Amino acid sequence: MLSLRQLQQFLAVADSMSFRQAADRLNMAQPPLTAAIRQMEEQLGVRLLERTNRITGLTAAGQVLRDEARRTIAQAERTIALTRRAGAGLTGSLRIGFVATAVRHIVPTLIANFRDTHPDVALELMEAPSARQVAALLDDRLDLGIVALPLPTGAEREIATRTVLRSELVAALPERHALAREPTAPLALAALAHEPWILFPANEGPGLHDRIVGACAAAGFAPEVAQRAVQMETIVGLVAAGLGVALVPALFKTTGWSSVVFRAIDGTPVPYEVALAWRRNDGSAALAALLASYAARNPGE
């Protein structure tokens, strides 16, 4: 089998029709080049060049080898280029999960900025609660999650995180509720002790669920859950329908829910944090490129 080096040597001769010019182009002496072409002819069992004391043309076999050599070298160069692009995270695919609250504040810029610089990386997006994303990451069904912290107990051993949003939880009240009359005043969480609550199931976001229940316990009560919903957006909608109260991210104060009043919690804030999450042992170049892209645009986080 002919090597790429042999094909390059033959092409240099075929293109210039001169051993001397081809040798100069290849940065080698002429005698070794002449010997290399003769060796190729012996290896193939055909004459490649018409020559007397100089090259006068290509044989039919030489013309075929010239055309095929050009295609082979072009494909080899393309293979090398694509391999290098894959190694730099410029090609491939990424499966990305996200919680609903990330749609407005994180997903657009994260995705748009990455697609600007890595248009050949295919992105598959999936909305899912934090616990489902963590399970998918651990099972290698997801490459990157955008999750609400904290992670389920023990998950941090295998999953790394980078916090991308810090906020706090606020009380969401139906606008006709008696406690909604002073929207700008902080509200004591204990005032909601006997209210019907809307809360997501503990198994869908155990870390954040524990924070909410823990804050209620610190205020001296356990929330009486009347309705359950998975997504925060749905929870706010149920509050708007007058079905109960809830603690939701302060981000919802800017989303235009006209029939819901949001009041800050008096005393120690209940934090709400969203983070990028990925497997610690994930060697994906595309994932590394996305994380590096985000870090470059957000160096202070």
Task: Write out the two tokens for 266.
Answer: 């008096």
Tell me, what's the pLDDT at 103?
84
Model pLDDT, residue 85: 65
Per-residue exposure over 274-297, b if at least 16 CB sit within 10 Å of its own CB, e if not: bbbbbbeeeebbbbebbbebbeee
| Predicted local distance difference test score (pLDDT) of residue 249 | 93
pLDDT for 56:
82
Calpha distance 240→246 (Å, rounded)? 11
Q: What is the pLDDT of residue 89?
A: 56
Report pLDDT for 215.
95
Q: Which domains does the chain have, with CATH numbers?
A: 4-87 (1.10.10.10), 92-165+274-297 (3.40.190.10), 166-272 (3.40.190.10)
Per-residue model confidence (pLDDT) at position 86:
67
Amino acid at 113: N
Q: Are 167 and 251 in contact (CB under 8 A)?
A: yes
Instruction: Give the span between the Cα atoms of 206 and 212, in whole angstroms.
Output: 10
Please report which helix (H) or strand (E) contains residue 13, including its range: helix 4-16
Q: What is the pLDDT of residue 91?
A: 62
At 256, which helix (H) or strand (E)? none
pLDDT for the residue 246: 97
Positions of the chain with pLDDT under 50: none
